[in-house]
Amino acid sequence: MAETKEFEEKAKKVFSAERKEDIWVLILAAITVVLGLTGVITPKTFSSLFF
């Protein structure tokens, strides 16, 4: 029983981590969009990363 309870807590924690993860993901995507729209990153940025 105690094991199950502990596991439930862990599962809830994993899900709340997923929620936090989604927020970080949204922030990361938003930063990329802003950089793209303001011209900080251009189509040439990507090719400049490779030989």
Partner 1 sequence: MADTNSGILKYIPGFVLCMIFGWMALQWDQSIHKWQKDYQASAKVLKAHADDGKPFLGFAEYKAESEEKYQEKVAAFERGEIKEKPKKPHLLQENDYQTLAATGKIPSKFAFGERMIEFQLTYVAVLLLGGMIIRNTIGLPKIFQPGTVLARPVIKPGIILLGGYYLWSNLLKVGVFALVLVLIFILGTTILVSFLGRRMKLDDGLMGVMAAGTGICGVSAAVAVAPVVNAKPRDFFYAVGTILLFGTAALFTFPYIGKALGMSEPVFGAWVGTAILNTAQLVAAATWYGHDSLLTANIINIVRVGFIPLVVIFCIWFYVIRQATAEGRHEKVNKWQVIKEKFPLFILGFFAMVTLNEFGVFTEDHRTIFGKQFLQIFFAVGFAGVGLNIAFDDLKKAGGKAFVIGFLAATIKAVLSAIVVILIGTEAFKVK
CB of 42 to partner 1, least distance (A): 7
Residue pair 38/32 in contact (Cβ under 8 Å)? The answer is no
Fill in the per-residue mask, 1 to 40: x = in contact with partner 1 (CB under 8 A), - = not in contact: --xx--xx--xx-xx--xx-xxxxxx-xxx-xx--xx---
What's the number of CA atoms in the CB half-sphere (13 Å) around residue 29? 6
CB of 14 to partner 1, least distance (A): 5
Residue pair 33/40 in contact (Cβ under 8 Å)? The answer is no
Size of site (CB under 8 A) for partner 1: 32
